[in-house]
Amino acid sequence: MLDWTDRHCRFFHRLLSKKALLYTEMVNARAIVHGGTERHLRFNPEEHPVALQLGGSERDILARSARLGEAWGYDEINLNCGCPSERVQRGAFGACLMQEPTLVANCIKAMQDVVQVPVTVKHRIGIDKNEDYALVRDFVGTVADAGCKVFIVHARNAWLKGLSPKENREVPPLRYGVVAQLKQDFPQLTIAINGGFSDDAAVQAQLALLDGVMVGREAYHNPWWLSRWDEVFYGQPASNLSREDVEAQMVDYMAREAAQHGTHWYAIARHMLGLRHGLRGARYWRQIWSNHQLKDLPPHEVMALAQRASVS
C-alpha cells in the first residue's frame, strides 16, 4: 500500500470504523532516522489504534526507528517482510527477508529490546515458485523464537523476479490453507491473514480459523464496507454516519490540514474517491473531486458541486 495509506487515508478510514487496527504504508527505517522523522511519523490522534510499518534490515537502524515510532505514539511496530518490489529488494528488505529468518529474528529482538509496544511481522507464504511449506514454517518458528507473537500472513508467494508488484498481488495463487496450517502448528501465536478479501462472509470464514484478517485494496477502493465492520466483527453499535456526513467531515479535515500544514485538499480527496462506490452518480462525483481545474476552489465549494453532480 505504498503511497496509499498515508495519514489522510487513515483519518478517512477511521471515520468509517472506530475499532479496526490501521497500518501506515511501509516507511523506510533509514528515512525516519536520517532526517525525515516528522514527515514520516506525523499522524492524527484520531487514527488510534495505528501501527507503524517499517521497511529495513539493519538491526540498529530498525531499533532506532522503532523507538522513535513508540515515542511518537504508535500502538504497534510492524516489520514488512512481504513487499516484493524491486525497489525494496535493492534496499535488502521486504519479501527477500523471508530467505534470512535469523536476520529477521535479530532485528525483531533489537526492536523489542527498546520498545514496550508490540513488534509484529508481515510476510508472505513463500518466495518465487517454491511452495514448500517448510520455508514459511521455519521462518515463523525462527522469528517467534526471538519473541515475536503476531504474524500477518499474505497468503501468496512473492515472486522476486519477473512480476510487477501489481502482478504479485494477482498471479501467485492464494493458498489460504497454508496460513491455517501455520495456526495449527503455532497455536500460541496470533496469526492473521491477508489477501483477496472483499466481503463479510469471506472474512467471517477466516475468523473461524485464525485470529485476524487484514484487508488492503478492497478497503481502499470500496471504503464504505468499513462502515459495517464495528457492528459485524466487533459487536459494537453501527456507525450512524451517512456517506454525506463522512464527506463533510473530510472537508472539515481538509480545511484544518490547509491551515495547519499547508496541505492542499486535492492531496487528501484522492483517498475518498471510492466513498460512493456502486451508487448512482458515483462516477460524476469522483470526476468533481479529481478535477484538477477545481484546485483553486475551497473544498466546501467542491463538495457542493460534487453532491449536485451525484444526484443530477
- Active-site residues, by number, are 83
C-alpha dihedral (59, 63, 65, 69), degrees to nearest 10: 150
CATH superfamily of 7-234: Aldolase class I (3.20.20.70)
Distance of alpha carbon 96 from alpha carbon 124, whole angstroms: 10
pLDDT of residue 90: 58
Q: Buried b / exposed e across 23-44, counting CB within 10 Å, b at 16+?
A: bbbbbbbbbbbeeebeebbebe
pLDDT of residue 86 exceeding 70: no
pLDDT tier, 103 (very low <50, low <70, confident <90, very high otherwise): very high
Percentage of the residues of the chain whose pLDDT score is greater than 70? 96
Give yes or no for a contact between 29 and 58, defined as CB atoms under 8 angstroms apart: yes
Helical packing angle, 299-311 and 243-261, nearest 10°: 160
Q: DSSP character for 155?
A: E
C-alpha dihedral (105, 106, 110, 111), degrees to nearest 10: -30
Q: Per residue in 60-84, pLDDT tens?
A: 999 999 999 999 999 999 999 998 7
Q: Per residue in 131-165, pLDDT tens?
A: 999 999 999 999 999 999 999 999 999 988 777 77
Count of helix runs (H) and strand runs (E) in the chain = 16, 8
pLDDT tier, 258 (very low <50, low <70, confident <90, very high otherwise): very high
pLDDT of residue 311: 67
Among 184, 215, 185, smallest CA distance to 200 is for 215
Among 107, 83, 68, 72, smallest CA distance to 25 is for 83
